[in-house]
Amino acid sequence: MQQQSKKTVLVYVFDGFADWEGSYVSAELNQSDAFAVRTVAPDRAPKRSMGGIAVAPDYALDDAPGEFAALLLIGGNAWLDPASGIDAVVPLVRRARAQGALVGGICNAATFLAEHGFLDECAHTGNTLEYVQQCAPHYRGAERFVEAQAVADDGIVTANGSAALEFAREVLRELGAKDDPDAWFKLHKDGFYPEAV
């Protein structure tokens, strides 16, 4: 029997991306039998994360694969600075939406999705409604904002910057990558020895 090829999950990286925000979900997906995580960046030059980790991108924006299962946008300050060139990823987000790929945005990446109209018609969250409104002047989805750590709706997962685990849980659930994403989340949130409060 021929082995089925893995589905590609693209993680967008750039200088200053918030490496920890994508670490749980990337590790879980890349260890699975069904998914392969690959990085895409504005170009092929190495990118250095906020934590100082250097990444050699698998793809530049202009040679990203035609089909993929998900596009994950990890936080960082560049999302709020159009002068950084971050808007170059918008066509890839549009392509993901058009082909039915899951789109995930955490922290400032969720704000970026709001600014570009991707959250106007779906339930979503971010770094507080006030923050999103302040940092995304073209945002028109305030009535759909949910005060939650992470929200999945209509093929989009959003999370605030304190919700790396919640973001991972919702992406894993949406992709069907874990039999019990809630049990996975509880283990990683509470640990082997939950602390008494």
Q: Is 107 a catalytic residue?
A: yes
3-class secondary-structure state, position 117: coil
> Contact at 8 Å (CB) between 90 and 41?
no
153 burial level (CB within 10 Å; 0-12, 13-18, 19+): middle
Catalytic residue among 107, 114, 151, 157: 107
CA distance 96 to 153: 15
**Whole-Å CA distances, 20 to 60, 133, 140, 185:** 22, 25, 29, 16
Q: Catalytic residue numbers?
A: 107
